[in-house]
Amino acid sequence: MKKKLLFFSSKKYEIEFFNEFNKNFGFDISYLDIRLDSSTVILANGYDGVCCFVHDELNSKVLDKLKSYNINIVVLRCAGYNNVDLKRAFENKIHILRVPIYSPHAVAEHTVALILALNRKIHKAYIRVKELNFDITGFLGFDLYKKTAGVIGTGNIGKIVAKILKLGFEMEVLAYDPKPDYNFSNSIGIKYTDLNEIFEKSDIITLHCPLTKDTYHILNEQSFEKMKKGVMIINTSRGGLIDTKSLIKYLKNNKIGYAGLDVYEEEEEYFFEDFSTKGISDDTLARLLTFPNVLITSHQAFFTKEALENIALTSLNNFKSFFNGLPLENEICYKCGQERTSCNKQKLGRCF
């Protein structure tokens, strides 16, 4: 019998890709446009697996319910997993798989697009010219050449951003990562350093790290105080990396000159949805939208044809590997993160 899969938070643009690739897999897929949480998890009863996105809740209550429905596989069609209680998933023997690399180029290129748009006021110029106003007053930018960029996090995305800024724009690039890759840095001529030097010397700071207890609010009042006046802040990773209220404070006093955000701390209620006729009740987000030097996009950095193809293919292959008893190369495991040497994943390709 075909394995039955339930997709939460599904959008038309991704369903088309999944349906096309599923012709070669043969799963019985149902799609819901609602988020997974403790009130909607009951809809998963009777399915063999569920597929989730960044705003779906996989807390202990939800995971306990999935286990009671004999669901032992959850596939995240994204790279981040800060929305998952990994410890409870491990206790329930629910395998959590993700798409670790869907298109690092997509996110990196969007990062650079935000930098260029903010610097040269492209978003403002477009509106002004559409109104037949060809005055360029207020659109003064600066050369990126020889300026200093701080790249926090040098995984796949951060490395591509660093290469574009260093080799493409000839910027000076400082990088921070708890596990620096010196072969990479030496090959393109960037410097690994600590966060303090990045805060103090960078004209542009861009975030490319996962959201963990160690990186939560990595940009906060204390770090903003150390930065250059007029610094540009870019975040295409996770909203919780920035203390948004502190960001607003330093935008108001002009210490921060620009902010380009593809993510927001409390985005779950709003991003990917249409509020154009309803308005929003989030005062913090509303305040951010009032700043002329803030450019917000709706978690779309990943959104390219190539990325959606990779997400669909990898997600379906994750399900196939699980149901066929194969090694789970994209599995996330609580025990792996804590006691890697004692994890069965080393021997069996699975955490349990």
- Specify the pLDDT at position 208: 97
Q: Give yes or no for a contact between 284 and 244, defined as CB atoms under 8 angstroms apart.
A: yes
Of 110, 238, 265, 331, which residue is the catalytic one? 238
- Specify the pLDDT at position 351: 82
- Specify the pLDDT at position 136: 97
**Same domain (yes/no): 279, 313:** no
Of 35, 88, 299, 350, which residue is the catalytic one? 299
- Specify the pLDDT at position 335: 74
Contacts of 304 (CB under 8 A, 6+ apart): 103, 106
**Same domain (yes/no): 242, 314:** no
**Same domain (yes/no): 172, 116:** yes
**Same domain (yes/no): 182, 44:** no
**Same domain (yes/no): 149, 12:** no
**Same domain (yes/no): 114, 90:** no
**Same domain (yes/no): 156, 59:** no
* Number of compact structural domains in the chain: 2
pLDDT tens digits along 8-48: 999 999 999 999 999 999 999 999 999 999 999 999 999 99
> In a 3-state reduction of DSSP, which class is residue 225?
helix
CA 157 to chain centre: 10
Quote the domain boundaries for residue 22. Answer: 4-102+305-348
**Same domain (yes/no): 33, 114:** no
**Same domain (yes/no): 150, 292:** yes
> In a 3-state reduction of DSSP, which class is residue 74?
strand
**Same domain (yes/no): 331, 276:** no
Asked if 238 is an active-site residue, the reply is yes
Asked if 267 is an active-site residue, the reply is yes
Strand pairing of 191-192 and 204-207?
unpaired
pTM for the complete prediction?
0.90
**Same domain (yes/no): 201, 237:** yes
Sign of CA dihedral 206, 294, 104, 120: negative
Of 110, 267, 331, 350, which residue is the catalytic one? 267
Asked if 287 is an active-site residue, the reply is no
**Same domain (yes/no): 19, 42:** yes
Q: Which residues of the chain have pLDDT under 70?
A: 337-343, 346-347
CATH assignment of the domain containing 191 = 3.40.50.720
